[in-house]
Each structure stands twice: as C-alpha cells, then as structure tokens.
Amino acid sequence: MGKPTGFLEYDRKTGRAADPLQRIKDFHEFHTPLTEEKQREQGARCMECGVPFCQSGMVLGGMVSGCPLNNLVPEWNDLVYNGNWTQAFNRLKKTNSFPEFTSRVCPAPCEAACTCGLHGDPVSIKENERAVIEKAYETGKAKARPPKLRTDKKIAVIGSGPAGLAAADQLNKRGHNVTVFEREDRLGGLLMYGIPNMKLEKQIIERKIAVMRQEGINFVTGADVGHNYKAGKLKRDYDCIILACGASNPRDIPVPGRDSEGIFFAVDFLKSTTKSLLNSNLEDGNYISAKDKHVLVIGGGDTGNDCVGTVIRHGCASVTQLEMMPKLPDRRAEGNAWPQWPKVCKTDYGQEEAIAVFGHDPRLYQTTVKEFIRDESGKVCKAILVSLHAQKDPETGRTTMAPTEGSEKEVPADLVLIAAGFLGAQNYVADAFGVELNERSNAATEAGGYLTNVENVFAAGDMHRGQSLVVWAIREGREVAREVDKWLMGYTNLA
C-alpha cells in the first residue's frame, strides 16, 4: 500500500463529462480523462483493505457484489499510484480479457463494494482501469503477442460478442486454432450494434479485433450459422464448438394495437442507427429516425436509457420512458446494507440529456402500456398508459404489479421502442446443433459447467446464463475456454 493516507488526502474525482446540450450534437464518447498526475492520486485513494470486497464477485441479497472477474483491483490501484503502468497492465490482464470494453460500459459493481464507499465516495476503479489499458496502447504494451507453439486442435466460436471473443482470446493464447463466426457484417456482437457510440466508440472494438487477428485468430462475418452456414459442416471441420450467440429474443408487449406501424424493438432501433452512422454518418437515411417524433420508450434499464440518448440526438419532439417498478430510493434503504449492490435511483446520461433538453425527467414509474392507437394509415400515433400497483398473488405469495383501475391516460406516440429485456437464445442456432434449451430458453448444461447435451458443443455468455452484463459474459468466455481446453487436452493451464 503506497499511500496509507491517500483516501483521507484526496477526494474522488472522475473525468469531466461534456455538457448535455453540447454532447447531444454528435455520437462521440463525451468524457475527458483526468491528467496522469490526477489519475495517480485516484489510485492512491485505494485503502488496500483487509477484505477487498471490490474483487469478490459474491452474490449478496440476490445481486453481485464486487467484480465478477475477480480483478486484482487493490494491486493495480497501487501500481497506478506509483506510476508503474506496465505492471498495472500485466496485473489487470491476468483476469480481464477486455478492460477497454469494461472500463467504458460496465456499471462497476467493484465500486459499489469499495470499502471507501461505506462512509464516503468509492475509489474511481473504473476510470483507473481505463487509464491503465489506454496507457498500455499508447506505449505499445497492448500489442499482439501470438502464441509461440500451436496445437493441432481446431475450435469454432459462434458469436463475436464479449463471451465469444473472450473464449477465442484465451484458447488462442493456449495455441489452439480458433475461428470466430459472426452473422452480422461487423464483429463485436452487442458491443458493436447494441451499445451506442456515446458509451463505446466502435474503433475501440476494431482496435482490439486487429490485435486478435495479428495473434492468429480467424474471423468470418456474414456467417449466420443455422441459416446460411451449416452446423453439420462445422461439426465435421472442428474438434470443438462454442455457442456464444447471446440472448437475442426480445420480450414483447402483447397489447391491442401492437401491430401498428412505428413500433420497434430497442435493439433493432439501436442497430439501425449505429450501422447507418458507421456506413455514412447517417447520410444514407437507412435507420429508424426519431426526428420530430414523440417517442415512447418502454423499459427503464440501460437499453431504455440508450434509446433515450439516441432519440435526443436524432432530434425527437419529446421522449417518455416507462418503468413498471416503483422509483428506487435516493439513498440506501436499511435492508440494503453495504457491500450489497446499492438499490438506489440512478439518473443516467440519456435521462440527464432529456432533462437538459425538455426540462424534466422522462421516466414515468409504475406505468405500462394498455393499448396502442393507430391513425388511418396504420401508424401508431398515441398510447393509452395505465398506472400499476403492487399486489400479492394469493396462490404463490409473489408480489406482482397490477393495473390500477381508472388510471388510464393518453400520450402522443409516433415512435415506440420496446426495451423490456430478452427471453433467451434464438432457437434456430440451438436446433441446428441439437442443443437442448432449459425452461428459460437458455442452452442447458450441468450446474457450473458449459458442455451441452451434444458431445463437443459448449455454450457460454448470455446464451448460457440469460441476459446479463458484459463483465459476466467475459467471465463465462474465460471459463468455457478453460473447460474446452481441458476437454481437448486432458488438462489446462488457462487462468
């Protein structure tokens, strides 16, 4: 511990975010990093406490506390403080395949579990992580390192999201011959088309993919396995197959008027914007536009927030975001003690921008759609909303949200975006390989394992665990790589 009094001497500081009214003028990342001197001071705030909950990855109260990757946070925080950036990078990469991604899009359960946060502000772990990886790229430490020896084993990874990329990265380091198949025209899965540029610029993904190519990993785009690419051929050509296809079935809102024109799933909306932005800076017009429209976003999570930020950049006339559950408290409740994940209300970047543009928070809590109204041409033009209240199911005892009679109200809605989460893997990929799904529509495996009912087919990431965080996908990618390596070689030395 280089600075025992650092947490007393330095206040928490993070990179400056651009003013909301300025940053909505483009789709770029909008945080200015701290100077190296100030970043080192933030590293000094780490107490290197006796029990580092930040790296625990435990489940407390039904939610994860600390980093699911078990990142060696106190170690590289101290190395940042001491200016030993090379060793900080080495320690960070011991557990995290893609700190360039997690330092931008992870909600930082590590910081929520930081001991400094018990009576003050937690260490800025996420920004320290970003400083370490960016310094590594600047100094050439993050360059390609191909394996010195190759095995004769061939592995196919289906899906180039964080789970698939993490598995490919680890298995390639072991010396196996890895090919990643992606059905889209660009690599990255939901990192590429599901997360807006404001949170993750796409050149960050392409930079890492370029390194992985140099290290010997093969990538095939436009390969929709189960449709235009035959599963049987992969089973013949490869010793092992890893399915990392994500949880791609969006949850729908089955109410009257759902078939009206102008209602889209959030992932399709976000994908159309990002693809057009990358292809033509939106000049080709091949995207779902929110310009001058009254937008209704259904879903209060991260994807819903991303939709809010995106439609504002389009120039929408208004935006309303629906959240079925009650508003969370502004401070921790007594039953939500540290180091549990803090169940408190968070105003994210999209909501900040809506407040700046329209003068009020776009969220309506305990509210859902009862009906969509269409105009004479079949386009959605209004929505009937209804308030919800909590009630207990007399049979199961579970608390559910039920409509409140007489609470209906009408709002304008020219564009509706459904961001209500995902229900599991798409059946056609699993069917192509004969992989069984469980009751949650995820690839079925034994508890704690990744091997499916098919001898040489494994599953990982959201396809295996259901919709989750990028950091969990990376963990599953690394774990399935370890299991595959042992299955192929009889032992494994992968971390």
Structural domains in the chain (count): 3
Rounded (to 5) percent helix, strand, coil in the chain: 35, 20, 45
For residue 274, what is the enclosing H or E element? helix 266-280
Q: Which residue has the tokens 């409509």?
A: 403
Residues 205 and 111 in one domain: no
Residue 14 lies in a domain: yes
Cα–Cα distance between 473 and 243 in angstroms, integer? 12
Residues 321 and 290 in one domain: yes
**CATH code for the domain in which residue 429 is found:** 3.50.50.60
| For the chain, percent of residues with pLDDT exceeding 90 | 92
Residues 31 and 53 in one domain: yes
Residues 192 and 269 in one domain: no
Cα–Cα distance between 180 and 242 in angstroms, integer? 9
For residue 298, what is the enclosing H or E element? strand 294-298
Q: What is the pLDDT of residues 60-95, one digit of tens each?
A: 888 889 999 999 999 999 999 999 999 999 999 999
State both tokens at 350: 């999209």
Residue 389 lies in a domain: yes
Q: What is the mean pLDDT of the chain?
A: 96
Q: What is the pLDDT of residues 188-199, one digit of tens each?
A: 999 999 999 999
Residue 399 lies in a domain: yes
Residue 395 has what pLDDT? 82
Residues 181 and 115 in one domain: no
Mean pLDDT of 301-321: 97
Given 395, 418, 441, the domain boundary residue is: 418
Statement: residue 1 has pLDDT above 80: no
Residues 295 and 399 in one domain: yes
How would residue 394 be classed by pLDDT, with cut points 50, 70 and 90? Answer: confident
Residue 342 lies in a domain: yes
Q: What is the pLDDT of residues 108-128, one digit of tens each?
A: 999 999 999 988 999 999 999
Cα–Cα distance between 202 and 198 in angstroms, integer? 10
In 10 A of CB 280, how many CB atoms? 12
**CATH code for the domain in which residue 50 is found:** 1.10.1060.10
Residues 274 and 385 in one domain: yes
C-alpha dihedral sign at 409, 413, 419, 420? positive
Sequence-distant (6+) residues with CB within 8 A of 430 are: 243, 436, 437, 443
Backbone angles phi, psi at 148, to 5 degrees: -80, -25
Residues 269 and 386 in one domain: yes
Statement: residue 284 has pLDDT above 90: yes
Statement: residue 145 has pLDDT above 70: yes
Statement: residue 96 has pLDDT above 80: yes
- Residue 360, SS3? coil
Which has more pLDDT, 495 or 55?
Answer: 55
Cα–Cα distance between 267 and 288 in angstroms, integer? 11
Q: Which residue has the tokens 């990028």?
A: 470
Cα–Cα distance between 395 and 296 in angstroms, integer? 34
Residue 258 lies in a domain: no
Query: 417-454 burial string, b = 16+ CB within 10 Å, else e?
Result: bbbbbbbbbbeebbebbebebeeebbbbbeeeebbbeb
The number of helix segments (H) and strand segments (E) in the chain equals 18, 18
Cα atoms in the Cβ-side hemisphere of radius 13 Å centred on 48? 16
Give the residue from 355, 196, 200 showing the smallest Cα distance to 266. Answer: 196
How would residue 351 be classed by pLDDT, with cut points 50, 70 and 90? Answer: very high
- Domain housing 345: 263-418
State both tokens at 241: 């197959």
Cα–Cα distance between 361 and 107 in angstroms, integer? 21
Mean pLDDT of 390-400: 86
Residue 242 lies in a domain: yes
Cα–Cα distance between 220 and 182 in angstroms, integer? 6
Query: Residues 180, 162: contact at Cβ < 8 Å?
Result: no
Query: Residues 114, 342: contact at Cβ < 8 Å?
Result: no
Tell me the three-class secondary structure of 181-204, residue by residue.
EECCCCCCCHHHHCCCCCCCCHHH
Query: Residues 422, 247: contact at Cβ < 8 Å?
Result: yes
- The strand pairing partners of 479, in sequence order, are none
State both tokens at 366: 């305990």
Cα–Cα distance between 341 and 332 in angstroms, integer? 10
Given 113, 138, 163, the domain boundary residue is: 138
Residue 396 has what pLDDT? 83
- The strand pairing partners of 60, in sequence order, are 63
| pTM of the predicted structure, to 2 decimals | 0.96
Which has more pLDDT, 297 or 425?
Answer: 297
Given 418, 435, 462, the domain boundary residue is: 418
Residues 413 and 438 in one domain: no
State both tokens at 13: 């500081």
Residue 181 has what pLDDT? 98
For residue 374, what is the enclosing H or E element? strand 367-374
Residue 1 lies in a domain: no
Residue 446 lies in a domain: yes
Beta strands in 18-124 (DSSP E): 31-32, 58-60, 63-65
Residues 244 and 267 in one domain: no
Residues 81 and 159 in one domain: no
Helices 73-81 and 125-138: crossing angle, nearest 10°?
60
